[in-house]
Amino acid sequence: MDLNKEVARKYKKALVTGGAGFIGSHICEELVKTGIEVVSLDSYVAGKEENIQDLKKFPNFLGVKADITDFDDLKKHFSGVDIVFHNAASKKTVSLKDPRRDLEVNAKGTFNLLELSRDTGVKRFVHASTGSVYGEPVVFPQDESHPLSPVSTYGVSKLAGERYAILFHKLFGLNTTVLRYFHVFGSRQEFNDFGGVVAIFIRNMMENKPLIIFGDGSQQRSFTYVKDVVRANLLVAVNDGSIGKVYNCASGVKVTVGELAKAVLETFGRDESQIDYKDWTIGDIKNFEVDNTKIKKLGMEFSTDFSVRLKETIKEMKDYITKLKNKNA
């Protein structure tokens, strides 16, 4: 299936929240290729102008600054929108420092977008959720029917958001789909302390700093390449069978944080003496074994060669980090 052609056939204008962020900018990048109008909406708390700079040359792209918690300001950006890819979020690291803001963004912000989508006739709403809604795994592998018992304020706020999304489908007929992301990595990922572990490890190597592991490194992750996440978003957007459904969006490949650290060290020509172990992080999930059967039945295929994608990401992130640091110097 040519997803870009299918998107162009079904939709005329897309709104991508968090569009200047890591995942959102990749979604915008792919959507622009379809020829439909694309609006990136971002507060720029985490998003960066640099992430969408190259898209500004396209006549079918527009970047706007707005906060999803500001309902009145959001209204003017919904004119003509017929599909929303909701990727704006407060992240887990933010929730540890400011749980009230986390709640406002992930729950209230999502509710605002759903209300406006319902009231303006949006055809589809693809909601980005997280594997953190499951909490500590009690059944392996985790499929979408696994008990939902989050162990962090971030997991709770994201669960509220996805529950609102499904409720708007049931009560108002808004065509929503939920994708639960798992440890997405790739180019343009945030590399500050609020970013993902892959990007942080790369940054630390570039700055000749140790790789900090919270715990003993045995915690498993299902690292998922960002281009695969983009494909999953487009796939559910054009598949009517996904309406009202929830999907695990994960590669299914199991990698421990310790294995990741060793792979990054090897690529940079360093040894394991560069690892610094710290206390476990509150709410950190130690084991993941994610079942992605449901989304694969829609035709989704994930990259399974983690080492190849990691090396590509390291090369791209080195250039990205250097560019941003030179700009801010």
Would you please indicate which residues are annotated as catalytic (active-site) residues? 154
The Cα 123–Cα 200 span in angstroms is 37
Distant-in-sequence, close-in-space partners of 174: CB < 8 Å, separation ≥ 6: 114, 117, 118, 122, 125, 168
Dihedral of CA atoms 239, 243, 248, 253 in degrees, nearest 10, equals: -10
Q: How far apart are the first and last CA of the chain?
A: 45
User: Tokens at residue 103, please?
Assistant: 């709640």
CB 101 within 8 A of CB 94: yes
Integer angstrom CA distances of residue 30 from 58, 127, 199, 202, 234: 12, 17, 22, 25, 9
C-alpha atoms less than 13 angstroms from C-alpha of 177 in its C-beta half-sphere: 24
Alpha helices in 63-106 (DSSP H): 71-75, 92-97, 99-103
Nearest 5°: phi and psi at 83?
-150, 140
